[in-house]
Amino acid sequence: STLPAWWKEAVFYQIYPRSFKDTNGDGIGDIRGIIEKLDYLKSLGIDAIWINPHYDSPNTDNGYDIRDYEKIMQEYGTMEDFDTLVSEMKKRNMRLMIDVVINHTSDQHPWFIQSKSSKENPYREYYFWRDGKDNQPPNNYPSFFGGSAWQKDDKTGQYYLHYFARQQPDLNWDNPKVRGDLYAMLRFWLDKGVSGMRFDTVATYSKIPGFPDLTPEQQKNFAEQYTTGPNIHRYLQEMKQEVLSRYDVVTAGEIFGVPLERSSDFFDRRRNELDMSFMFDLIRLDRDSNERWRHKKWTLSQFRQIINKMDSNAGEYGWNTFFLDNHDNPRAVSHFGDDSPQWIEPSAKALATIILTQRATPFIFQGSELGMTNYPFKKLNEFDDIEVKGFWQDYVQTGKVSAEEFIDNVRLTSRDNSRTPFQWNDRKNAGFTSGKPWFRINPNYVEINADKELIRNDSVLNYYKEMIKLRHKTPALIYGTYKDISPEDDSVYAYTRTLGKERYLVVINFTEKTVRYPLPENNVIKSILIEANQNKTAEKQSTVLTLSPWQAGVYELQ
Ligand code: ISL
Ligand code: CA
């Protein structure tokens, strides 16, 4: 009953361009580097690529602060390089999804420079300017990167709104001129042949009229409050009607902040807003909304029950993406698997099995196909991310927590974990650059790198290849009904995917022990499609599996 679409069948790969491949020795990844590696991605089985922002930017937040929407970030190359990327991808029958950051611009954007120049400037209303209260900000909104969400500007003495860094002022979507300019910009990229758009922090475009203070209760989850603007769905429907519906383009919304129950409003196809959702309930299951840097314990039953809810929430009319890491989160193996040396490979393969058998479009974050891990951070000055620095100011410098406690947590949770350069080989700088890399390289590149894994049959990389092939040739693994067959189990994650008469079973042992697993619901194995970490666990006709540590498999059921 779910309508077929290319973007449901596609396997996506997320590229963080800054850290992917440098071709000119300046230590920063670039578009030419992406082009150079297209064949690597094609042979992995990738159909589409999402790239993080590629626009001109002063890089306060690594490109999420855009200075010019129609210019390429200088370090990444030229517009000609971008056009070449699109055409080289077309040749290979691959599609490109770009990142659309229109909740805010950089404070260096010409609109903002105009806007702050005087109260009468025609661009004043492109952003939110308000008077302070008794020399304090207009209200008590916090920013995601620490401190107040309002910044005073001396020129006019008023404050402007910034949900993220103060270098990222929020655009005023209530102004039709802003929307018109943004829509024109979207057409510019769509006319170039871009076939996907990921909308950054899409739920926060519409602001709460009058900017009342948040109650203490609301402040604890201010992200959610910021998604309650009254016009958000009107704007998304307008954007769809005026721009997106006129192109062959898939849209994915970063529906960050919105509780699961409200999220389908953004991507239920009957509403004509967005096609797919990025939800964060799973990847943030071990975090609190108020102290986001802190790490909490999690269990497999929590993990699987979130997936179950996400699946039923998408239902018949929605479609999810599925990912276990991205540029804002720690590495999947370190987070959900086990990154002690002996378990990296087995647990990376186990996670690959999950990512590629969900009723959702898989997004593989660069390096996950190798089992890249978190970085062993030890001190504050080893981090690059503006978020870590903001949290440090709010928590350590105010004396709320000790430096040690803080570092112990951000080592596990920091966004920087996923931003270290890609590990291509065991030579200088992991083959990422001939120059000085912009960010530290994980010392485990000597063992974990693409070249080594390409030639070893049982590598994580080759397992990804096999899993992607399996997904591509098995419609039930894409469209089939998903059912968790033992939702309370804290050791073995097992679920079925059913399409017509075809029934498949996916089984993952989430422990470091051998587990005897009797199949529930009278299930009987018909054949083995793929097994990771140990072969021939199941004989035909078996009703019990003996699973080695982190073992994973996909089976056909009778
Ligand atoms: O990663 C987060 C903090 O831990 C999230 O709160 C994140 O800020 C949120 O998901 C919005 O993310 C997106 O917009 C940000 C940018 O920094 C992120 O990289 C981007 O994915 C601002 O543009
Ligand atoms: Ca470069």
State pLDDT tens for residues 307-341.
999 999 999 999 999 999 999 999 999 999 999 99
Least confident residue range of 4-18, 423-437, 441-455, 540-554: 540-554
Q: How would DSSP label each residue in 43-110?
A: HHT--EEEE---EE---TTTTSS-SEEEEE-GGG--HHHHHHHHHHHHHTT-EEEEEE--SB--TTSH
Least confident residue range of 80-84, 90-94, 245-249, 290-294: 290-294
- CA 433 to ligand 2 centroid distance, Å: 8
Check if 200 has its Cβ closer than 6 Å to any atom of ligand 1.
yes
Can you give the three-state secondary structure of 29-53, one letter per residue? Answer: CCHHHHHHCHHHHHHHCCCEEEECC
The question of ipTM being above 0.90 is answered as yes
Q: Which of 56, 75, 99, 254 is flagged as catalytic?
A: 254
Atom number in ligand 1 closest to CA 328: 1
Q: Would you say residue 456 has pLDDT above 70?
A: yes
Q: Would you say residue 430 has pLDDT above 70?
A: yes
Please give the mean pLDDT across all residues of the chain.
97
Check if 387 has its Cβ closer than 6 Å to any atom of ligand 1.
yes
Q: Would you say residue 1 has pLDDT above 70?
A: no
Which residue intervals of 124-277 are DSSP H helices? 176-190, 216-220, 222-225, 232-242, 260-267
- CA 99 to ligand 1 centroid distance, Å: 12
Q: Would you say residue 461 has pLDDT above 80?
A: yes
Amino acid, single-letter form, for residue 151: Q
- CA 530 to ligand 1 centroid distance, Å: 36
Which residue's CA lies nearest to atom 3 of ligand 1?
328
Cα–Cα distance for residue pair 82/15, rounded to 1 Å = 14
Atom number in ligand 1 closest to CA 223: 6
Amino acid, single-letter form, for residue 410: V
Q: Would you say residue 539 has pLDDT above 80?
A: no
The rounded Cα 221 to chain-centroid distance in angstroms is: 20
Cα–Cα distance for residue pair 345/532, rounded to 1 Å = 10
Query: What's the pLDDT tens digit per position in 109-162?
Result: 999 999 999 999 999 999 999 999 999 999 999 999 999 999 999 999 999 999
- CA 329 to ligand 1 centroid distance, Å: 10
- CA 414 to ligand 1 centroid distance, Å: 12
Check if 164 has its Cβ closer than 6 Å to any atom of ligand 1.
yes
200 is catalytic: yes
Give the 3-state secondary structure of residue 136: strand
Cα–Cα distance for residue pair 225/57, rounded to 1 Å = 28
The pTM assigned to this predicted structure is 0.98
User: In sequence order, which residues have a C-beta less than 8 Å from that of residue 135 and are 6 or more positions away?
Assistant: none
Atom number in ligand 1 closest to CA 327: 19
- CA 164 to ligand 1 centroid distance, Å: 8
Check if 101 has its Cβ closer than 6 Å to any atom of ligand 1.
yes
Query: What's the pLDDT tens digit per position in 195-217?
Result: 999 999 999 999 999 999 999 99
With the most atoms of ligand 1 within 8 angstroms of its CB, the residue from 19, 144, 278, 281 to mutate is: 144
Which ligand is located closest to the Cα atom of residue 414? Answer: 1
With the most atoms of ligand 1 within 8 angstroms of its CB, the residue from 256, 281, 325, 385 to mutate is: 256
With the most atoms of ligand 1 within 8 angstroms of its CB, the residue from 50, 59, 64 to mutate is: 64
In the beta sheet, which residues pair with residue 133? 136
Q: Predicted confidence band at 534 (pLDDT cuts at 50, 70, 90)? A: confident
Tokens of 352: 């690959």
Mean pLDDT for 172-178 is 98
Check if 163 has its Cβ closer than 6 Å to any atom of ligand 1.
no
Check if 415 has its Cβ closer than 6 Å to any atom of ligand 1.
yes
Check if 349 has its Cβ closer than 6 Å to any atom of ligand 1.
no
- CA 434 to ligand 2 centroid distance, Å: 10
Q: Predicted confidence band at 538 (pLDDT cuts at 50, 70, 90)? A: confident
Contact 553, 507 (CB under 8 A): yes
- CA distances 522 to 42, 301, 498, 514, 554, Å, are 40, 22, 15, 22, 17
Check if 284 has its Cβ closer than 6 Å to any atom of ligand 1.
no
Q: Which of 61, 170, 200, 286 is flagged as catalytic?
A: 200
Which residue's CA lies nearest to atom 5 of ligand 1?
328
